[in-house]
Structure 1
Amino acid sequence: MTIATHTSDRSAPSAQERLYAQCDPLDYEALLTDAEQEQLRRLRTFLDTEAKPLLADYWERAEFPTQLIQPLAALDLITPAALTANGAAPRSLYEGFRNFELARTDASLATYYNGQSGLFRTTVTRGGNEEQIRRWLPLIDSFEMTGVFALTEPDHGSDIAGGLATSARRDGDRWILNGTKRWIGSAVFADYLAVAARDEADGQVKAFLVKADTPGVELRTIPGKMSLRMVQNSDIELNNVEVTEDFRLARINSFTDIADLLRSMRSGVAWFAAGVQAGAYEAALKYVSERQQFGRPLAGFQMIQDHLVTMLSNLTASLGMVVRLSQQQDQGVYRDQDSAMAKAWTCSRMRETVAAAREVVGGNGILVENHVARFFADAEAIYTYEGTREINTLVVGRAITGRSAFAR
Structure 2
Amino acid sequence: MIDSTAVRAARRQALVLTGLLLAVGGLYLGLLGWRSTDVDWWFVPWMEHIIQHGARASLAEPIEIQVAGAQGFANYTPPYLYLLILAGFASDVLSSFALVKLVAVGGAVFCAGCVFYLLRALVPPGVALLGAAGVLLLPTVALNGAAWGQTDTIWSGLAVLVVAFALRERWAAMLITFGVALAFKLQAIFIAPFILHIILSRRVGLRYWPLPLLAYAAMMLPAWLAGRPAWDLARVYLDQAGTYRWLSMNAPNPWSFVQYLRLVPYETGVIIGTLATILAALLLGGLSVLWRRLERVDLLLLAVVVAGSMPYLLPKMHDRYFFLADVLAYALAISRPRPWTIGVAVAIQLGSLGAYAAHMLDFAPGKYLGALLIGAALVVALGQLLRALRRPGAGLSRHASLWPARAGARSVG
TM-score normalised by the chain length of structure 1: 0.32
Greater helix percent: which structure?
A: 2
The structure with the greater share of residues assigned to strand is 1
What TM-score do the two structures reach when normalised by structure 2?
Answer: 0.32
